[in-house]
Amino acid sequence: MTPREVLAMCREKEVKAVDLRFTDFLGAWQHFTIPVAKLEEDTFADGLGFDGSSIRGWQAINESDMLLVPEPNTAFVDPFASIPTLVMICMVQDPITREDYSRDPRNIARKAANYLKSTGIADTCFIGPEAEFFVFDDVRFDQNAHEGYFHLESVEAEWNRGRPEGPNLGYKLRHKEGYFPCPPSDQLMDVRTEMMQTMIQCGIDVEAQHHEVATAGQCEIDMRFQELVRMADQMVLYKYIVRNVARRHGKTATFMPKPLYGDNGSGMHTHISLWKAGQPLFAGTGYAGLSDMALHAIGGILRHAPAILAITNPTTNSYKRLVPGYEAPVNLAYSQRNRSASCRIPMYSANPKTKRVEFRCPDPTCNPYLSFAAILMAAIDGIQNKFHPGDPLDRDIYDMPPEELANVPKAPGSLDEACAALEADGDFLLRGDVFTDDVIKTWLKWKREKEIDPMRLRPHPYEFCLYFDA
């Protein structure tokens, strides 16, 4: 879509306002709105100014002026605005040099896609994330000097089997038994269908929606794979739609990886494949129908996985999901079909165009632009250096004897460990100036000072259960 076509769309849809959006360093959508009359063709070249010092992890106060430059091919009409509003995702630029901003996540994703082309390995990276989330009926939480708690409610939850609901109709989902039951046990079917239809209305190609394994409203909506940057755009839109449809129904959605103790957490299994001149490059005659290139890509992802996880699993809560026994891939291995391996090769079809690698570690709290870029950069490094992933593990890893399991590399057990791995093994991200040293240092500084240290300093409610009478 061209700027002129966007202006025509505004007239056709009787748009009154234009919402300009961008993704901050940690992955949240930010925005401001202008009257439609202020959107002109020149705006797409000149951009609009904003204060970059007020955005997490970005500019200092003495260099705060920045520009948002709308991307016309991202335009859509906001399905939640009461006044007709057009939305466009923007690139972030320095107003003096007009260079794309190095800490803009979308710019990093674009650089990763361009770097892939420059290597000659492939011209397209397709990404397909499977983002899971919970929909709750009520949430309360707080943390201060003298108390800390959270309280979640769901009409589906197993713990509400005996609650007086006037009337309680039963049909509560038992822990780990939420996968695919029909209504009335699945009480969110209509909500998910509305989310799915809203995504389609906004241009997202949706393949399916369903209840997930956990009790208390765990859900998943699957999108068809797209080119890397476009999929990252769609992922932030996906989260926006999920949250706002839930709110429309008087519910709330969260992408926290592990909001419930003792049940499955929410992951974002991420499928990746490389193509060139319209042909898939991961199909071949090797293990699980893979090419040597695909095996080397797996080798790169597994070798750099501890560092990648500082970006794809970026919260302290992420590592409460990455524990054995909950379909969470803590062992850095690969296999066909096997969901207990961190890299899985789906075997649903023999069509070469469907051949891909599923990296099962990521979770949906990640910044999709940074995460997809990091996974791609690890795959490229594996291909360039011909890293072989070793022998596959075609068995249930969790049932292996301890002496065998001890030889399987493990994912980091905490965000602190993952950040240390990124600090020690971040060079593969710097190639092609995709990530910069400044980006990695800023990311690590934020994670350590704003998340890891504050969590480490605070008493945990369960510590009172363990130690109050010690």
pLDDT in tens, 320-356: 999 876 667 888 999 987 777 899 998 887 898 999 9
Annotation marks residue 212 as catalytic: yes
Specify the higher pLDDT residue, 40 or 398.
Answer: 40
| Percent of the chain residues past pLDDT 70, beyond the cut | 99
Annotation marks residue 132 as catalytic: yes
Strand partners, 173: 157
What pLDDT is stored for residue 337 in this prediction? 72
| 132, 137, 158, 186: the active-site residue | 132
| 71, 156, 158, 212: the active-site residue | 212
Contacts 24+ apart (CB under 8 A), 223-227: 223/128, 223/129, 223/199, 224/128, 225/126, 225/127, 225/128, 225/271, 225/273, 225/356, 226/126, 226/127, 226/128, 227/113, 227/124, 227/125, 227/126, 227/127
Q: Which of 45-59, 139-153, 228-242, 247-261 has the lowest mean pLDDT?
A: 45-59
Q: Which of 27-41, 95-109, 204-218, 344-358 has the lowest mean pLDDT?
A: 344-358
| 360, 363, 416, 451: the active-site residue | 360
Secondary element (H or E) of residue 93: strand 85-93
| Percent of the chain residues past pLDDT 90, beyond the cut | 88
For the chain, helix (H) and strand (E) counts, in that order, are 14, 18
What pLDDT is stored for residue 398 in this prediction? 65
Amino acid letter for position 182: C
Specify the higher pLDDT residue, 152 or 396.
Answer: 152
- For 86, the token pair is 């057009």
pTM given for the model: 0.96
| 269, 271, 321, 344: the active-site residue | 269
Q: What are the tens digits of pLDDT across the range 111-163?
A: 999 999 999 999 999 999 999 999 999 999 999 999 999 999 999 999 999 99
Is 266:321 a contact under the CB 8 Å cutoff?
A: yes
Annotation marks residue 337 as catalytic: no
| 220, 263, 363, 381: the active-site residue | 220
SS3 440: helix
Annotation marks residue 78 as catalytic: no
| 31, 175, 249, 339: the active-site residue | 339
Annotation marks residue 138 as catalytic: no
What pLDDT is stored for residue 325 in this prediction? 65
Give the residue-averaged pLDDT of 364-387: 98
Judge whether residue 217 has pLDDT over 70. yes
| 78, 233, 263, 358: the active-site residue | 358
What pLDDT is stored for residue 326 in this prediction? 64
Give the residue-averaged pLDDT of 436-456: 97
- Report the chain's mean pLDDT, rounded to a whole number: 95
Annotation marks residue 192 as catalytic: no
- pLDDT band at residue 258, thresholds of 50, 70 and 90? very high
| 130, 137, 327, 416: the active-site residue | 130
| 40, 41, 46, 51: the active-site residue | 51
What pLDDT is stored for residue 401 in this prediction? 83
Give the residue-averaged pLDDT of 293-312: 98
What pLDDT is stored for residue 338 in this prediction? 72
C-alpha–C-alpha distance, residues 444 and 226, integer Å:
29
Annotation marks residue 220 as catalytic: yes
Annotation marks residue 51 as catalytic: yes
Query: Strands 343-345 and 334-336: what pairing?
Result: parallel
Annotation marks residue 358 as catalytic: yes
